């Protein structure tokens, strides 16, 4: 998955889905794109992200170890 | 009554005459009022915008019952406020939260550290010989505020465990 600025940078005149990009020498197929983030002061740095599978990242970059864990509560109705 | 209107007229002429004879001073006065008013409006707008942006971001997370924890799963020892060794988090901890906490619906594991922190060069992306580079971040799941475009027919949904591998350009 690639964010909006990556789409603009590499795929100005073509559909990115199905194309392959090379990230640090490793080839990934683009399976989707993200909308532009709504930053208060112009572009958001999140617009430059590239998403790849978690375990692929761990395999490619074993030095990165700081995890951020977020949990979302399930919606519950009472009564 | 006539003398009243005569006085008003004289004062008006006097004011206009002063404006005419001191054009630059008048210009500076108007400029000062304009700059002052613009500054007040600008500052008020920025404060209102920041308040809205921060509030919307917080609401987006808390409306969904979001909770964030961050810790390293290795490396240098850390202590918390009580002076005891801080617990560290890993992918397995996140999965344990998901399995053992009935109130939790979704769990996301992300790695936000930039590779440059580990002495490695920043990631680069390339397509058809065109380069782009930037810091690398990882996430096991798209952030809550992401809105994805619908995938084309025939393309499967992305795996639940995805991550941010790099930034570009």
**What is the secondary structure of chain A as a DSSP string?**
-B-HHHHHHH-SSS--TT-EEEETTEEEE---BBPPP--TTS--GGGGEEEEEHHHHHHH-TT--EEEEEEEEPP----
Q: Which chain A positions have a beta carbon within 8 Å of B147's beta carbon?
A: 34-35
User: If pLDDT is split at 50, 70 and 90, which confidence band does B16 have?
Assistant: very high
Whether the pLDDT of residue A15 is over 80: the answer is yes
**Are B65 and A73 inside 8 Å of each other by CB?**
yes
Provide the whole-model pTM.
0.56
- DSSP element (H, E) containing B45: helix B23-62
> In chain B, which residue's Cα lies nearest the Cα of A74?
B105
B:125-144 residues touching chain A, CB 8 A cutoff: 125-128, 130, 132, 134, 136-140, 142-144
Q: For A19-34, how does the pLDDT look when each residue is reduced to its tens digit (9 = 90+)?
A: 998 887 888 888 888 8
Decide if pLDDT at B82 tops 80: no
DSSP string, B75-120: SS--B-TTSSBPP---HHHHHHHHHH-TTEEEEEEEE---GGGGTP
pLDDT interval class at B30 (50, 70, 90):
very high
The domain locations on chain B are: 2-62, 91-139
ipTM of this predicted structure? 0.74
């Amino acid at each position: 998955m690639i964010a909006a600025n990556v789409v603009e940078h590499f795929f100005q005149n073509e559909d990115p889905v199905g194309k392959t990009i090379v990230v640090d020498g490793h080839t990934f197929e683009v399976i989707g794109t993200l909308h532009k983030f709504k930053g208060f002061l112009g572009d958001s740095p999140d617009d430059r992200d590239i998403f790849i599978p978690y375990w692929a990242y761990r395999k490619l970059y074993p030095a990165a170890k700081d995890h951020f864990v977020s949990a979302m509560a399930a919606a519950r109705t009472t009564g | 009554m006539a003398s009243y209107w005569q006085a008003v007229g004289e004062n008006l002429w006097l004011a206009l005459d002063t404006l005419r004879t001191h054009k630059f001073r008048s210009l500076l006065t108007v400029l000062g009022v304009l700059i002052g008013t613009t500054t007040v409006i600008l500052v008020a707008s920025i404060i209102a915008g920041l308040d809205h942006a921060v509030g919307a971001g917080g609401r987006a997370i808390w409306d969904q019952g979001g909770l964030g924890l961050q810790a390293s799963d290795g490396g240098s020892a850390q202590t918390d406020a009580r002076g005891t060794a801080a617990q560290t988090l890993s992918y397995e901890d996140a999965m344990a939260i998901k399995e053992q906490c009935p109130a939790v619906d979704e769990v996301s594991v992300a790695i936000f550290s930039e590779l440059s922190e580990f002495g490695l060069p920043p990631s680069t992306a390339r397509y058809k010989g065109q380069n782009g580079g930037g810091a690398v971040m990882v996430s096991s799941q798209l952030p809550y505020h992401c809105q994805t475009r619908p995938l084309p027919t025939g393309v499967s949904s992305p795996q639940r465990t995805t991550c941010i591998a790099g930034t570009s350009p």
